[in-house]
Amino acid sequence: MGRKALYAADPGAVYVSVYCNAASHPNEPWRIATYSPVVELGPGHWAEQIGKYESSESDTLIPIRGSTRAYLAGDRPVSKEESRTNPDALEQGDSRTRFGLTCERCGLSVTARSEKAFPIFDVLAAAGIREISLAALGKRLAAR
């Protein structure tokens, strides 16, 4: 009792998971977030699996807190309330998501916008890479 439900992982699923294994905790990785492609929207569209982390090391989805998200229409932040009451606010061609990925063990943090992170996820997935460290993702984002 009191345990969170575990969900079976799909071994054939396409996903990219982000974890932290900083020098301060190399043998204790912190699971941060898992993203899956949104096939209906075509290449370059990914969504976070809210509250679940997928790893090739486990046959179940691991419960996690996840990232923080902010929705933007152009450069204007759209509140969660506005996105619920006015869905058109995010239907503009320039809408995007900004998310914060933070390791709760060491405090390492990376902020990414969907238009920069999602192409990286596409490349990783095409190469069969399912997990990336937070530090490596931060370096790839900085190089864009």
In a domain, 112, yes or no: yes
Give percent helix, percent strand, percent coil of the chain, each to the nearest 5: 25, 35, 40
In a domain, 79, yes or no: no
Torsion of CA 21, 136, 115, 119, to 10 degrees: -110
In a domain, 124, yes or no: yes
Structure tokens at 125: 């997935």
Q: What is the pLDDT of residue 121?
A: 95
Residue 87: DSSP 8-state? G
In a domain, 111, yes or no: yes
Q: How many domains does the chain have?
A: 1
In a domain, 34, yes or no: yes
Cα 75 to Cα 67: distance, rounded to the nearest angstrom: 20
In a domain, 121, yes or no: yes
In a domain, 48, yes or no: yes
| Residue numbers of the chain with a pLDDT score lower than 50 | 1-5
The whole domain housing 36 covers: 13-67+101-142
Q: What is the pLDDT of residue 47?
A: 86
Whether 65 and 30 have beta carbons less than 8 Å apart is answered as no
Q: What is the pLDDT of residue 131?
A: 95
Q: What is the pLDDT of residue 5?
A: 47
Closest CA to 133 of 92, 91, 103: 103
Q: What is the pLDDT of residue 49?
A: 85
For the segment 111-142, what is each residue's pLDDT rounded down to a tens digit?
A: 988 889 999 999 999 999 999 999 999 999 99
Whether 108 and 22 have beta carbons less than 8 Å apart is answered as yes
> Three-state SS string across 28-40, please?
CCEEEEEEEECHH
Structure tokens at 80: 């969660």
Q: What is the pLDDT of residue 87?
A: 60
Question: Contacts for 34-39 with beta carbons within 8 Å, 24 or more apart?
Answer: 34/61, 35/121, 37/121, 37/122, 37/125
